[in-house]
Amino acid sequence: HAAVSASPRVRPRLLVSRLYQPSNLRDVGQESRLAGQMTCKSQRLMQQAGLIHPSNPGCYYYLPAAVRSMEKLIKVIDQEMHEIGGQKLDMPSLCSADLWKASERWDLMGKELFRLKDRHRADYCLGPTHEEAVTTLVAHQTTLSYKQLPLLLYQITRKFRDEPKPRFGLLRGREFYMKDMYSFDVSEEAANQTYESVCEAYSRLFARLSLRCVQVQADTGNIGGTLSHEFQLPADIGEDHLLLCGSCSFSANAETLSSGRTDCPQCNTGSLVESKGIEVGHTFYLGKKYSHIFKATFSSAQNKPATAEMGCYGLGVTRILAAAIEVMSTEEEIRWPGLIAPYQVCVLPPKKGSRVDKAAVFAEELVQTLGEAVPHLRGEVVLDDRTHMTIGKRLKDANKLGYPYVIVVGQVALEENPKIEVVCQQTGETMFLSKDGLLDLLGRVE
Ligand code: ATP
Ligand code: MG
Ligand code: MG
Ligand code: MG
């Protein structure tokens, strides 16, 4: 690579030619094997772009770009959970059956639970959720005082569920990442406040990701409890049926109403409109169901032992990733919430040729300048060094991957008043900017 060695000071490390983003579809044998499983846009786009690779049903390799995106998503989730007082921990995935038998969910969960035995023939399961585990943990602290509540503990870990129909890529896996939070409060009233604050945090999270999300009344399922909401992204591929009132704020998962109902149970005047949704989050008020069984108590203001009021709150981390791609992308090109795009900028130097070496050096220097002058772009700028390909072809690739900003360095970049071409994915706009103008533009990215 002549241009790189000509300029020893400039060592861009993020070269497209070196990024591990294998496109699965190049392998024809595999393509036909996967054909039956390729069921939705996000799955197809994510496999084509080398973000994920299927291993066995409902299980995927998360490839480097997907991991980058997920780490960014986790960072945003962490910020919102810390904002409401959440503390992060990490619980074992290998869970003893004893706990699950105590809550009677060992039988209730049926075939969805991945069960196994250890060498002593003791029963275990791979955690699909952690109410039992976290409540036992909190119950172990004999000195827990009302002054320490509310206590909000959460983790972001792999969950295991033997889904009857794993499909749609990361939307419904058998092994997937979930953020699960559990709250412990002194009273029902305090627990309701905590519940509200988590719902608000979820709404903020989806707003920051520019995802339109509706909070609907939901069934409590086998988790138990009384109050429950789902956070749903409206999408045709969604497996949930939502009923939204045209006149008031009422919205519910259709599972919660008697079937066929078309009038709104809240305002009685509006009619219910059905739409499909992808469940990306779920909140439950649990009351004392688990704290009673596992004796999670605290000492009250009167210095008496009292049973904690609980809530639990899930977010499908890998599902959000795929769902965002599902609702934002076109059939051909991935679009990301800006905050979680794997890389923020891709710089395209011109096709290799005698008159353009200067432009290639300019492009490499630009990568370095961006990383130095715009702190949040450090490690976020990729150079598409496949200069044997035309700019047009590489631009098409970059648009497919959906970098929020694509910078094209052509001949005009070398003129007396250099102009740099910038394609902004969020708006679809193409601009011609000076170097300063470009730094200004990118410096303002959140
Ligand atoms: P679903 O109705 O889609 O099966 P669920 O109601 O069983 O989901 P919860 O127990 O509420 O799921 O889990 C919390 C969150 O975990 C869900 O809101 C969803 O975002 C995510 N999730 C659940 N199952 C899966 C899965 N198989 N693959 C990916 N994410 C999942
Ligand atoms: Mg389920
Ligand atoms: Mg559900
Ligand atoms: Mg649910």
pLDDT on residue 219: 87
Looking at per-residue pLDDT, the higher value among 398 and 444 belongs to: 398
Return the residue whose CA atom lies nearest to atom 3 of ligand 1.
279
Cβ–ligand 1 contact at 281 (below 6 Å): yes
| Mean pLDDT computed over 379-387 | 94
Structure-derived torsion over alpha carbons of residues 11, 17, 21, 25, reported in degrees to the nearest 10: 170
Return the residue whose CA atom lies nearest to atom 22 of ligand 1.
316
For the CA of 174, the nearest atom of ligand 1: 27
Residue 207 predicted with pLDDT over 60:
yes
Cβ–ligand 1 contact at 216 (below 6 Å): no
CA of 181 to the centre of ligand 1 (A): 14
Residue 354 predicted with pLDDT over 70:
no
Residue 353 predicted with pLDDT over 80:
no
Integer Cα distance of 124 and 230 in angstroms: 29
Q: pLDDT, tens digit, for every residue of 231-246? A: 999 999 999 999 999 9
Cβ–ligand 1 contact at 279 (below 6 Å): yes
Integer Cα distance of 319 and 205 in angstroms: 14
Cβ–ligand 1 contact at 178 (below 6 Å): yes
**420-424 and 429-433 as β-strands: parallel, antiparallel, unpaired?**
antiparallel
Q: pLDDT, tens digit, for every residue of 112-144? A: 999 999 999 999 999 999 999 999 999 999 999
Q: Which residues pair with 306 in a beta bridge?
A: 298
Share of the chain above pLDDT 70, in %: 91
Q: Which of 168, 282, 313 to mutate to test the pocket of ligand 1 (most atoms within 8 A of CB)?
A: 282
Q: Which of 112, 162, 165, 178 to mutate to test the pocket of ligand 1 (most atoms within 8 A of CB)?
A: 178
Integer Cα distance of 401 and 44 in angstroms: 13
Question: Per-residue DSSP letters for 160-187?
Answer: E---SS-BTGGGB-SEEEEEEEEEEESS
Q: Where are the beta strands (DSSP E) in 92-250?
A: 94-96, 114-117, 123-126, 151-160, 175-185, 214-217, 227-234, 240-245
Q: pLDDT, tens digit, for every residue of 239-267? A: 999 999 999 999 999 998 897 778 899 99
Integer Cα distance of 125 and 393 in angstroms: 49
Residue 411 predicted with pLDDT over 80:
no
The ligand placed nearest to the CA atom of residue 233 is 1
Q: Beta-carbon neighbour count of residue 212 at 10 Å?
A: 11
State the complex-level ipTM: 0.99
CB 333 within 8 A of CB 402: yes
CA of 172 to the centre of ligand 2 (A): 9
In the numeric block, which tokens belong to residue 29? 């044998």
For the CA of 172, the nearest atom of ligand 1: 28
Q: pLDDT, tens digit, for every residue of 87-118? A: 999 999 999 999 999 999 999 999 999 999 99
Residue 29 predicted with pLDDT over 50:
no
Residue 407 predicted with pLDDT over 60:
yes
For the CA of 280, the nearest atom of ligand 1: 20
pLDDT on residue 223: 62
Q: Which residues pair with 304 in a beta bridge?
A: none
pLDDT on residue 28: 41
pLDDT on residue 412: 75
Cβ–ligand 1 contact at 176 (below 6 Å): yes
